[in-house]
A and B are shown apart, each in its own frame.
Chain A
Amino acid sequence: MLSVLIWAPIIASVIIGFWPNNAIQPNRLRLVSLTLSGLILLWNLFILFKFDLTNPGMQFQEYLPWNETLGLSYQLGVDGLSILMLILNSLLTWIAIYSSSKDTERPRLFYSMILLVSGGVAGAFLAENLLLFFLFYELELIPFYLLISIWGGEKRAYAGIKFLIYTAVSGALILATFLGMVWLTGSTSFAFDAVSTQTLSAGLQLLLLAGIILGFGIKIPLVPFHTWLPDAYVEASAPIAILLGGVLAKLGTYGLLRFGMGMFPNAWSTVAPTLAIWGAISAIYGAVVAIAQKDIKRMVAYSSIGHMGYVLLASAASTSLALVGAVSQMFSHGIILAILFHLVGVVEAKAGTRELDKLNGLMSPIRGIPLISALLVLSGMASAGIPGLTGFIAEFIVFQGSFSVFPIPTILCVVASGLTAVYFVILLNRTCFGRLDNDLAYYPKVLWSEKVPALILAVLIIFLGVQPTWLVRWSETTTTAMVAAITPAEKTVISQVALK
């Protein structure tokens, strides 16, 4: 059942990549991939509706022995932590393919790589074996490198290599930590439930946890390791940026939750205060740097750093409420970033620039691009945390859940959230409002097909904003169980420390 999510896109990607006829229309290929990813999305939704909300453990498990010598088995399962990420992955893949241009150059390679990435990400979220997770994690490396450096902007070669190296380093760190976790605990298998770090000394646990945090921190990204992000997001074309920011960043936070908190319940409490402060710094830094940007895509890219900071804060707090918030924030950041990148892509395609100084008055009903601007306003508000939209719900749960544990970092994050509103107001003010430049403003019409993905995402953002149960109900039991695993004694120690 779950295997379909991995193998359907991967097999399709191989078939598309090797499709013999060179003269095949890009449009035809796009339709094929679109249909396929739509079917996968439907299949994913079907799994979502079969998902048992009361079961905190893994569901729909699949197991096949693979390589006993390495302790590698093909073991899949889905729980509250991963189900939403899977939906996000297949939804954004569909949207990325939908919003790709109808006459993409080298379409076979393009769609083949997107589908490969989609299957790989699904595999990483589903894997119940450390080595299997790593395999899928590293599988992203080359396709994304190619996607950035072939179909990207002007400095794509630089951005691609930078992304590649950062991600490869992250992979090396993660692999080293996984090897350490398994070997030091004397386990013979890399399966999740076979690895228990409880028996290790506190120092070793901290060392391994540091490896996990650094490894995934590059991917999330946390502040000193984020420098690949602006380049990669900005140089990537809109559909790729959607996948990069919407899905790939979630691999980092998912890994942090699953392997950091899930596997080091003891050491996690020790590093939690540092992580909370780190998250707050990330959030503030992302917001402040975004204010200074002159390019709307860069602004959105830095907003992503800020929003991932909240996830870090919530995972550090690790109350059951905060964790639900973390998962919700991951999902809503995914869809908000996707709509933002899509809209920015449309604006760039129509207006021909991304500079804040050159754009003006896009809201103008006749000669501007009013619907796109309206949606841009909506998604800016969603990103800034305005009630009624999904961003607010997620952030509010995060803050509510974290305040009792880490009051000061939470307040810093609230401040950062305010700063987010600041730069989005700047962005909206400079682009949507004002007067159109009479000499330059002869924008091409926005086609319906370009509006559809944004409209779908906008509906989703509003729906989840007013009906948040549909956002939080999936992860509640799992996160409660995860919190329960962190020993109660340790928790009281933390809250005392934090109160002092």
Chain B
Amino acid sequence: MDFANLASQLNAGTILPEGIVIVTLLGVLIVDLILGRTSSRWIGYLAIAGLLAAVVALYFQWDNANPISFTGGFTGDDLSIVFRGIIALSAVVTILMSIRYIEQSGTALAEFIAILLTATLGGMFLSGASELVMIFISLESLSISSYLLTGYTKRDPRSNEAALKYLLIGAASTAVFLYGVSLLYGLSGGQTELSAIADGIITAKVSQSLGLVISLVFIIAGIGFKISAAPFHQWTPDVYEGAPTPVIAFLSVGSKAAGFALAIRLLTTVFPMVADEWRFVFTALAILSMILGNVVALAQTSMKRMLAYSSIAQAGFVMIGLIAGTEAGYASMVFYLLVYLFMNLCGFTCVILFSLRTGTDQIAEYSGLYQKDPLLTLGLSISLLSLGGIPPLAGFFGKIYLFWAGWQAGLYGLVLLGLVTSVVSIYYYIRVVKMMVVKEPQEMSDVVRNYPEVRWNLPGYRPLQVGLVVSLIATTISGILSNPLFTLANNSIAHTQILQATITKVSTVPLEEPEKL
């Protein structure tokens, strides 16, 4: 193999965005080593600049004519680009949030950012990974960094407990996932590349065998853990409550998006023969997640726990698009995850701001907040209402598209359940709004009564404010001005080879030809 051939086989340009992230990561580490603590004032911005540069690089890779790189180990198609973008953006906002939070907890910011960037890297590689070993490695680098992040505030016993719990469950589920993956390797006659596995399974004539089903179930257990689908959700509430809040923000968007990216790529490429089976399993997971997430969230008193159950429920909604398996179904998933990025991060920014100023995140303590901090009240209200799917916010359009795609694919029961549980969800989201907005001044909680004066010029508050305002605006208008996002989501599906081959043509109605970006 001569060099030119090898270079074209490697096609290393596709991982340029990840390359930028790696350079940034190393830069952060080295700067920290050289300058020590003094660097912490601007090191966050360095990381943000790196991540944004990665997003720009992703933009230039859109519609890459030759996405397959590293001899099939990585695919830089549009689907992966969208998910890599979501993960990178969620890391950007997470860093904006964490600059103050981590400083206040008395731990080193640069180390935190380095681990966060590693997790981002893992997630970004996972979105495009199309080879078993590559998938496993990026999954592990995402997971291990997540354990570290969860236990980062190591003097807090709750954080330690959460990290231990996350580690034990995570490691176990990764082991189960690994077992499923190794079965695939065996069943397909020694193939590790996803499309080759599909062919190998057909050649080996095991396409309805018990082995394939077992490996499917094991793999779903690993994926379900990442997207926190019930019944693989048990870590979520405890980890969300114990871990530092910026980490939760990242786990709820970045890590979840990575899980969904993995789900789409793995399930559609490797398991087209048992598509009915995995749809069935995911239907069960979606039903469980929607019911459990929404109903149990009703009974929560802690804001972070409530958002944990809400994120389980939201995963249930997103799974509707996955089960539909149509072009519109996948596109609606992508669209929902995009708007979920805005609304969840906006919500978490407000939770962080509140806990930075008052030191608590109990729902009851929010009462009467509108008088002391109108911006926080507005941000949290808008993001929660958007999560509940109230028009004309982003979440409404996201849910409508999911339900519309689900209905088109004939999933009447799931969509109806989604509608019913949405009504339930409005109740617990509005409870927080009620606490903040409706309560009279005399019903103010003690914490709010002693609320410190709102000042944005303290160190580390300005990035929080920027993150809040940007995500708030995005949550408000990305529903009304949703056309570019819709086009993006639709194109990312329409231009992706692996999906086009496997999309079930349930849809009898031709979708509108999406415009070129």
Please tell me which one of the listed residues B391, B401, B422 contacts residue A172 in the complex, with CB atoms under 8 A apart. B422
Question: Is B438 in contact with A139, judged by CB distance below 8 angstroms?
Answer: no
Residues from chain B with Cβ under 8 Å of A149 in the complex: 434, 438
Interface residues in A29-79 by Cβ distance below 8 A to B read 66-70
Query: A180 CA to B415 CA in the complex, in Å?
Result: 11
Q: Does A459 contact B (CB under 8 A)?
A: no
Give per-residue flags for B413-444: 1 if the beta carbon is below 8 A from chain A beta carbons, else 0: 00110011011001100100110011000000
Residue of B nearest to A17 (CB): B378
With A and B bound together, what is the CA distance between A181 and B110 in angstroms? 55
Cβ of B512 and Cβ of A69 under 8 Å apart? Answer: yes
B407 with A179: CB separation less than 8 A:
yes
The A-contacting residues of B in range 224-262, CB under 8 angstroms, are none
Max chain B C-beta neighbours (<10 A), residue from A67, A138, A157, A176: A67
A168–B423 touching, CB < 8 Å: yes
Within 8 A of A (CB), among B130-184: none
Q: Which residues of B contact A443 (CB under 8 A)?
A: none
Closest to A68 in B: B512
Q: B396 near A: Cβ within 8 Å?
A: yes
The answer on a CB contact under 8 Å between B438 and A138 is no
Q: Chain A's nearest CB lies how many Å from the CB of B430? A: 6
- Which size bracket describes the interface of A in this complex? 20 to 34
- State whether the Cβ of B483 lies closer than 8 Å to any Cβ in chain A: yes
CB-CB contacts below 8 Å: B484-517 with A: 486, 490, 508-512, 514
Grouping DSSP codes into helix (H, G, I), strand (E, B) and loop, the A interface class, with mixed when no group exceeds half, is helix
CB distance B416 to A176 under 8 Å? yes
Residues of chain B lying within 8 A (CB to CB) of residue A183: 404, 407-408
For B421, the closest partner residue in chain A by CB is A172
Minimum distance in angstroms from A116 CB to a CB of chain B: 11
Closest to A190 in B: B404
Contact A69 B392 (CB under 8 A): no
A376 within 8 A of B: no
* CB within 8 Å for A67 and B486 given contacts A138-B390, A168-B426: yes
Tell me how far the C-beta of B170 lies from the nearest C-beta in chain A, rounded to whole angstroms.
36
| Contact status B423-A135, CB under 8 Å | no
Is A233 in contact with chain B by the CB < 8 A criterion?
no
Residue of B nearest to A10 (CB): B392
- In the bound complex, do residue A179 and residue B403 qualify as a contact, i.e. CB atoms below 8 Å apart? yes
Contact indicator A164/B508 (Cβ below 8 Å): no
B427-A179 in contact (CB<8A): no
With a cutoff of 8 Å between Cβ atoms, the chain B residues found around residue A131 in the complex are: 400
Contact B437 A67 (CB under 8 A): no
Check B508–A176 contact: CB distance below 8 A.
no
- Verify A164–B426 contact, CB threshold 8 A: yes
Please name all residues of chain A whose beta carbon is closer than 8 Å to the beta carbon of B510 when the two chains form the complex. 188
C-alpha gap A183/B400 in the complex (Å): 13
Most buried by A among B328, B400, B514: B400
Question: How many residues on the B side are at the interface (Cβ–Cβ under 8 A)?
Answer: 38
Q: Return chain A residues, CB-CB under 8 Å to B400.
A: 70, 131, 175
Q: Is B39 an interface residue (CB 8 A)?
A: no
Task: Confirm or deny: B376 has a beta carbon within 8 angstroms of a beta carbon on chain A.
Answer: no
Identify the stretch in A140-148, A298-306, A399-407, A465-473 within 8 Å (CB) of chain B at 4 or more residues: A140-148
Q: Bound state CA distance, A175 and B423, in angstroms?
A: 12
The answer to the question of B195 belonging to the interface, with a C-beta cut-off of 8 Å to chain A, is no
In contact, B407 and A67 (Cβ under 8 angstroms): no
The answer to whether A138 touches B391, judged by C-beta atoms less than 8 angstroms apart, is yes
Q: Smallest CB–CB gap between A180 and chain B, Å?
A: 7
Most buried by B among A138, A150, A168, A171: A168
Chain A: minimal CB distance from B88 (Å): 25
A186 contacts partner chain B, Cβ-Cβ < 8 Å: yes
Residues in B with CB closer than 8 Å to A70 are 397, 400-401, 404, 486
Partner of A176, one of B415, B427, B483, B509: B415
Q: Which residues of A contact B419 (CB under 8 A)?
A: 172, 175-176
In the complex formed, the residue of B with least CB distance to A145 is B430
B468 within 8 A of partner (CB)? no
CA distance A58 to B479 in the complex (A): 28
Given contacts A165-B423, A168-B423, A179-B407, contact A69 B390 (CB under 8 A): no
Tell me the B368-386 residues at the A interface (CB within 8 Å): 385
**B362 at interface (Cβ–Cβ under 8 A)?**
no
Whether, in the assembled complex, A497 has its beta carbon less than 8 Å from a beta carbon of chain B, the answer is no
Residue A161 is within 8 A (CB to CB) of chain B in the complex: yes
B508 to A, closest residue via Cβ:
A186
Which of A142, A146, A164 counts the most chain B CB atoms within 10 A?
A: A142
Asked whether A169 is an interface residue with its Cβ less than 8 Å from the other chain, the reply is yes
B482 at the interface (CB under 8 A from A): yes
Partner of A146, one of B416, B438, B486, B511: B438
CB-based contact A188/B509 at 8 Å: yes
CB distance from A179 to the nearest CB of B (A): 4
Given the known A-B contacts A150-B438, A165-B423, A176-B416, are A69 and B511 also in contact in the complex, defined by CB atoms under 8 Å?
yes
| Alpha-carbon distance A335/B296, docked complex (angstroms) | 44
Q: Please, which residues of chain B bring their CB within 8 A of the CB of A142?
A: 385, 390, 430, 433
Contact with B along A266-305 (1 / 0, CB 8 A): 0000000000000000000000000000000000000000
Collect the chain B residues with CB atoms within 8 Å of residue A164's CB.
Answer: 426-427, 430
6 A–B contacts from the bound complex (CB under 8 Å): A69-B486, A139-B392, A142-B385, A146-B438, A175-B403, A186-B508
Besides A67-B482, A172-B420, 19 more A-B contacts (Cβ < 8 Å) are: A68-B512, A69-B490, A109-B437, A131-B400, A135-B392, A138-B390, A138-B391, A139-B391, A142-B390, A146-B438, A149-B434, A150-B437, A160-B434, A168-B422, A168-B423, A171-B423, A179-B415, A180-B412, A183-B408
The 5 closest A-B pairs by CB, nearest first: A172-B419, A179-B407, A168-B423, A68-B512, A135-B391
